[in-house]
Structure 1
């Protein structure tokens, strides 16, 4: 509660009760200001935005920084993914919104940080989940101390899903190892992860197709066998040293990580479109090496608590493109059409200080300064396919200032201001709109100026958080052209994001508790600009007037839960969620209608012999079996904007835990 900014924590119990622990979207509706939509399409990552930052992403995650056990899941260019998050071992997920998120560097309009549970006892776990549309999952975990300060945990999981639309099946295999050592003044943790996910891609639906049958799959998905295979291995190491309280330097933290990620995706790009010799093909294929280092020191200088640090991150992509046909056979890997090496590097220095101004007043200030550098080496130069090699760098300095007033032990007010920075991604810089070779050097980063005021109240099991914010963005990034398999981007002037967020929790009686999260967001363009009306588009001609909603942002969202704990009857809860209309394109000519959903759950824990227990979870989601668009593909060039949300779905989960 003492922090002067809006932060939410979703704990392990909430994660466990919200679903099978496959997707981060299961539990995050309880966080105001945050959108985490399940596309019901495992060939695309979740749709994530915070206060409207990241809403423009048609795939992957950008504008929001992602971390899992200290390892960035966002690359130096700001694009990331959460599909490999290990929710089964998570102790909590922290969500930071607002000005202080800028201290995480480039593209940090918000921060999502998954933190795994420590190993504090010897136990084993077996879990099985089964549900609608062929959902089945098996998990196994063993953990415990090894003696002489050592501890370890090994987790394995296998997930399969047939999907409620044709051509949407997916599989996921994960393995995670955590090895720790604790000494008198040191703590060393090694984490290793493996992830493999093949999945079909049912594609989005045009509004007319969605209205006719939201559960259908467009013919192109089967015709081109659209699908994706993603795989990842990574290793991370952190070393924390405690210097004691005798001097100003209190603690150091050194962390390092390295990994490899590979993606192959077969798309539904027509053969005729690939006849353009400049086209990159209908199969995307890349292998990425990524690594990084961070060193942090924590100081106590009289009454000032200070944290200083240095960070360095790098990704190198061996990127290739192929035709998605051989002769008359579609949906296969054909001739090479693109081959290049993409490198992104970032280096940062940061500092954050907290100091008391008076008995009830505390100030916080911080600054992060860094550079993001991109280099592309094009190895596929066959005229008229020009050389798209290039190099570009952006520098930034993000300051932040906060003030906290502790009115009494349970009531706090806060205010903060900051400057944020979001660089274009490698993909957004790849091509110039005039067709010449090299990076789009005219593209500028978008810069935000953020203001937040809020209050936090805690008393007798009741909690209330209220936050108001205003963000003004200059040089907002948006699509410029989409033709011949090449997309280019532009800066479209100023935008504004303003809103209110409310989170509440009440212990109504010993057996009853309630929780809610409410969001109001106005995200709009302040300057008019021209956009493309479809594909192909060599020159934008569609006017986007000032005042239009930023595509992908939710103007209103609400979530509530009422739970009753009945002892041997277990816990029963009803959940409700509602969202307003979401514009699918910047022209605001297509949208996903608002909708409301309800869910019912029951859970119980049974004590078995010894230290064993059995946990049971039963859920029914979308009780009324509503037909709705669960997410949108923002500014899709083919007009296939809408991704269907899940019909009524039943889940049964069993979890056995026993001591070793």
Structure 2
């Protein structure tokens, strides 16, 4: 651990020299729009957004997966794949549904530090759910102001340290030998605040060959330097060794035994090991009563070894064992000012950002138990440079206008060091785009706000999507970024115990990135551009506080996502087909009873309509509706607090498909969800008064 900490520190020091003062943000630009006051930050924002606070992040659940809380946000699909080798599957209004691992098309941010790499791929497992105070989820046109993302933004904010030092432990056990335990400390010591936690998760997994262990550690140190400035240090670490990957199932295998691994999983011992360390430093200073400066710099490293479900020993197949040695980092310099222009109050935000990702990639033949001969050796680099300007205008007491743009330049470069195959596959590509966005809101009454917005989106391929050509070796530099045009209108209603958010939206995408032909017919996916696609629909969320301690919540999304123009690489015309992995209807509902004696219980409902698994719409997963129950009790005993809890998921013991591997190789599309399963746990807290 010591040498890794030293390495991360060296990366940060290198970046400090490499990123000039003009290329470094404590706050990302849309945090200026979203605000940081969870009570009223988003009420006049001219875009669809959701606020998920700490009570909803882990409501008597495992507390390890973002899907546990993100399902409350309409427009967002967050699915637990029951596969810790591939992480949670997240999409927003259909963007990201094609991702076979990680998150695409949706940017992930924690405390101003990006958890999405400069090439656009994010890892939701890196969120510190044990220390999170709330999430803000942004969808629609204003997402373009974050740059290389089309679907939306998920940003988390770590909770403030408690006034009195507090030690908090929480352990839970459940079905399939599931066990998770965490230890958390927080406290304020003069001008210094501390939040720290460590956790371990172990499980045999619902399916065979899906055993996993995950260790995480997070530290947040805050220092109030003086009345005008503060400094925050964040450290994050994840260690996940030898995580088994059960792969997807074919329709025939699913009917035979839904808990079995995919056919190649045992033969090639498919598995994945990940080590990830990251450090970030935030500085914030108020220069005058009207100006504020924020500076952020971060760096880290990520090591991955993955055994895939094929040998990959051919001359141009790149290997079936992948090893990645990644160094990454970046920074941002941001400025905010409250002033007047044209005799109108206006808040301005401007800044420059830089992101770097350097990755050594090697591929070896997969002999099952061990790796064979070297089949690929290259160094891949991404440089992302961006500039943004955002203004929020108070036109009158009722009308407000948000307008801005972001210019992005993302450069991909590959240096081929595997020359024994007689081919030098080095190359580079440069993507540039300016993404404007405009939104206007009207406060019809103190309770009702109406808004409309429009903007452009930009999404480059990731290095994983560029990694393979349909034939031959080297990167697929023919793959182009997708561009979107987005429009949205909606309302926000707040009155007494009622909260309602509703929106209608339309998006048109040029050069949609889709799964293309299998590489040399060996079972490895490649990617291509479709012609055009469109997404249109509506979403709403309703929260109602009732009498006698009852609370009701409903989130619903209708989404029709189709290809307008799409000729597949095999010559078939898929124009008019639905985008795979995207349900037309999705719903989450909850009825909670929380009397004032510390006890609470709730019934949850989750439902998705039919989803197609392939671009040709010939394979699909049926729709489903499942019900879950949870209950817990918190008892204060002086400086101690005791909190036992329990939950049962899938009360009716229903068999259904939890997630899909879109266009999965070998027709292995299906990832089944567990039947009825249980979880029990207890939290214990001590506070030094």
Category of TM-score, reference length = shorter chain:
over 0.9
Equivalent in 556, 562, 579 of residue 550 of structure 1: 579
Give the aligned partner of residue 272 of structure 2: 228
Pairwise CA distance, 1:614 = 1.2
1:200 aligns with 2:226: no
1:609-649 deviation digits (Å, cap 9, x = unpaired): 2x321122211011011111100001112110000112211
Does the 8 A contact of 2:598 with 2:634 survive in 1?
Answer: no
Does the 8 A contact of 2:143 with 2:149 survive in 1?
Answer: no
Give the aligned partner of residue 496 of structure 2: 460
Pairwise CA distance, 1:142 = 1.4
1:364-417 deviation digits (Å, cap 9, x = unpaired): 101000100000001112235x22210110110000000000011111000000
Give the aligned partner of residue 136 of structure 1: 179
Does the 8 A contact of 1:138 with 1:158 survive in 2?
Answer: yes
Give the aligned partner of residue 534 of structure 1: none
1:424-468 deviation digits (Å, cap 9, x = unpaired): 222323345564x65434322111000000000011111000000
Give the aligned partner of residue 295 of structure 1: 333
Give the aligned partner of residue 453 of structure 2: 416
Give the aligned partner of residue 544 of structure 2: 506
Equivalent position SS for 2:74: coil
Pairwise CA distance, 1:506 = 0.2
Equivalent in 247, 251, 254 of residue 295 of structure 2: 254
Equivalent in 46, 70, 76 of residue 4 of structure 1: 46
Equivalent in 624, 633, 640 of residue 668 of structure 2: 640
Pairwise CA distance, 1:16 = 2.2
Give the aligned partner of residue 516 of structure 1: 554
1:577-615 deviation digits (Å, cap 9, x = unpaired): 100111111111111111111001111110112x32112
Pairwise CA distance, 1:85 = 1.5
Equivalent position SS for 1:391: strand
Equivalent position SS for 2:117: coil
Does the 8 A contact of 2:313 with 2:319 survive in 1?
Answer: no
Pairwise CA distance, 1:264 = 0.6
Give the aligned partner of residue 360 of structure 1: 398
Equivalent position SS for 2:71: helix
Does the 8 A contact of 2:297 with 2:331 survive in 1?
Answer: yes
1:37-86 deviation digits (Å, cap 9, x = unpaired): 11100111211110011111111111111112222111111112111221
Pairwise CA distance, 1:488 = 3.8
- Structure 1 runs of 4+ aligned residues shifted over 6 Å read none
Equivalent position SS for 1:408: coil
Q: State which drifts further: 185-194 or 76-85.
A: 76-85
* Structure 1 segments unaligned to the other structure (5+ residues): 532-539
Does the 8 A contact of 1:388 with 1:431 survive in 2?
Answer: no
Equivalent position SS for 1:83: helix
Give the aligned partner of residue 594 of structure 1: 623
Give the aligned partner of residue 386 of structure 2: 348
1:198-249 deviation digits (Å, cap 9, x = unpaired): 211111100121123222223422222111111101100101112242xxx4
Q: State which drifts further: 129-138 or 566-575.
A: 566-575
Rounded to whole Å, the distance in 2 between the matches of 1:191 and 1:293 is 14
Rounded to whole Å, the distance in 2 between the matches of 1:154 and 1:465 is 35
CA RMSD, 1 decimal: 1.5
Give the aligned partner of residue 32 of structure 1: 74
Rounded to whole Å, the distance in 2 between the matches of 1:218 and 1:370 is 40
Rounded to whole Å, the distance in 2 between the matches of 1:16 and 1:478 is 34
Pairwise CA distance, 1:487 = 4.5
Equivalent position SS for 1:133: coil
Equivalent in 320, 324, 334 of residue 282 of structure 1: 320
Give the aligned partner of residue 194 of structure 2: 152
Does the 8 A contact of 2:197 with 2:219 survive in 1?
Answer: yes
Does the 8 A contact of 1:10 with 1:93 survive in 2?
Answer: yes
Equivalent position SS for 1:397: strand
Does the 8 A contact of 1:388 with 1:430 survive in 2?
Answer: no
Q: 1:416 to 1:338 in 2, by over 3 A?
A: same
Rounded to whole Å, the distance in 2 between the matches of 1:635 and 1:151 is 48
Give the aligned partner of residue 31 of structure 2: none
Q: State which drifts further: 295-304 or 208-217.
A: 208-217
Equivalent in 241, 251, 255 of residue 285 of structure 2: 241
1:404 aligns with 2:441: yes
TM-score of the aligned structures, taking structure 1 as reference length: 0.94
Give the aligned partner of residue 537 of structure 1: none
Give the aligned partner of residue 536 of structure 1: none
Pairwise CA distance, 1:250 = 1.8
Pairwise CA distance, 1:361 = 0.7
Give the aligned partner of residue 478 of structure 1: 514
Pairwise CA distance, 1:275 = 4.3
Rounded to whole Å, the distance in 2 between the matches of 1:238 and 1:5 is 27
1:469 aligns with 2:505: yes
Equivalent in 527, 530, 535 of residue 492 of structure 1: 530
Rounded to whole Å, the distance in 2 between the matches of 1:514 and 1:527 is 42
Does the 8 A contact of 2:313 with 2:364 survive in 1?
Answer: no
TM-score of the aligned structures, taking structure 2 as reference length: 0.90
Q: 1:544 to 1:47 in 2, by over 3 A?
A: farther
Does the 8 A contact of 2:234 with 2:280 survive in 1?
Answer: yes
Equivalent in 122, 129, 151 of residue 109 of structure 1: 151
Q: State which drifts further: 313-322 or 544-553.
A: 544-553
Q: State which drifts further: 622-631 or 474-483.
A: 474-483
Rounded to whole Å, the distance in 2 between the matches of 1:572 and 1:55 is 32
Equivalent position SS for 1:209: helix
Give the aligned partner of residue 682 of structure 2: 654
Pairwise CA distance, 1:2 = 1.6
Q: State which drifts further: 510-519 or 397-406.
A: 510-519
Give the aligned partner of residue 331 of structure 1: 369
Equivalent in 85, 88, 97 of residue 46 of structure 1: 88
Give the aligned partner of residue 30 of structure 2: none
Does the 8 A contact of 2:525 with 2:665 survive in 1?
Answer: no
Pairwise CA distance, 1:281 = 1.1
Pairwise CA distance, 1:544 = 3.9
Rounded to whole Å, the distance in 2 between the matches of 1:381 and 1:584 is 38
Equivalent position SS for 1:79: coil
1:585 aligns with 2:614: yes
Does the 8 A contact of 1:342 with 1:374 survive in 2?
Answer: yes
1:426 aligns with 2:454: no
Equivalent in 229, 244, 251 of residue 186 of structure 1: 229
Pairwise CA distance, 1:137 = 1.1
* Structure 2 segments unaligned to the other structure (5+ residues): 1-42
Give the aligned partner of residue 254 of structure 2: 210
Rounded to whole Å, the distance in 1 between the matches of 2:64 and 2:604 is 19
